[in-house]
Amino acid sequence: MKRARIFLTGVGGQGTLTATKILALTAMDAGLEVTSGEIHGMAQRGGVVESTILIGGYRSPKISHGEADLLLGFELLETLRALPYLKKGGTIISNSESILPPGVAKGVETYPDVDAVAQQAQSCGLTISFLPCKTLGLKAGAVQSANMVLLGAFLAKDLLPFGVEALKQSVRTYLKPKLVDLNLHAIDLGVQAASE
């Protein structure tokens, strides 16, 4: 895919913006034209974080409903909410695990399970991969690395003109040295999960 509109969504604290930055820098280092944007007004209070990466010469960072080629969901409910942005035939790669909003944690509201989200996504005729990013992030050494699990799984699908090795090089180049080994392990776990 030489041109791609990628919509990323999660909640504050998951590293959605870090993942966006690393992915955009990886694309730029591959010599591609990149436009990126983000919305994160309440991110530090667990609010919704949405960002975009457009590869291949797009002028605006905006993605309207029905335009995204790829949806990366860092949190299950946010994946569900972002489905309208995906174009018909688009691809979803999402965390299958949730971060319960306060209303759900208090028992006042309900939360959809992964089967309900998958069923709704499949009804749109989409390609979907769900993987337990939080669990794999913890296996790598820190739940915060769940974002790299998702990126590893995403790039293992060969949907972009660069792959997992380019992502690993970006982690080595742009993250603090003490975070590199942990995140490289998380990427490997994501790649492995994508192949299962």
pLDDT tens, 27-43? 999 999 999 998 876 65
pLDDT of residue 43: 57
* 6 touches 23 (CB < 8 A): yes
Confidence of residue 17 (pLDDT cuts 50, 70, 90): very high
pLDDT score of 178? 96
Q: Both tokens of residue 50? A: 């949405």
Helix (H) or strand (E) holding 20, with range, is: helix 16-29
Secondary structure (H, E, C), 57-92: CCCCCCCCCCCEEEEEECCHHHHHHHHHHEEEEEEE
How far CA 166 is from CA of 110, 160, 184, in Å, comes to: 40, 11, 12
| Residue 13 pLDDT > 70 | yes
Interval 121-128 mean pLDDT: 78
Q: Residue 102 — pLDDT band, cuts 50, 70, 90? A: confident
Q: Pick the more confident residue, 112 or 22.
A: 22
pLDDT higher than 90, residue 110 = no
171-183: average pLDDT? 97
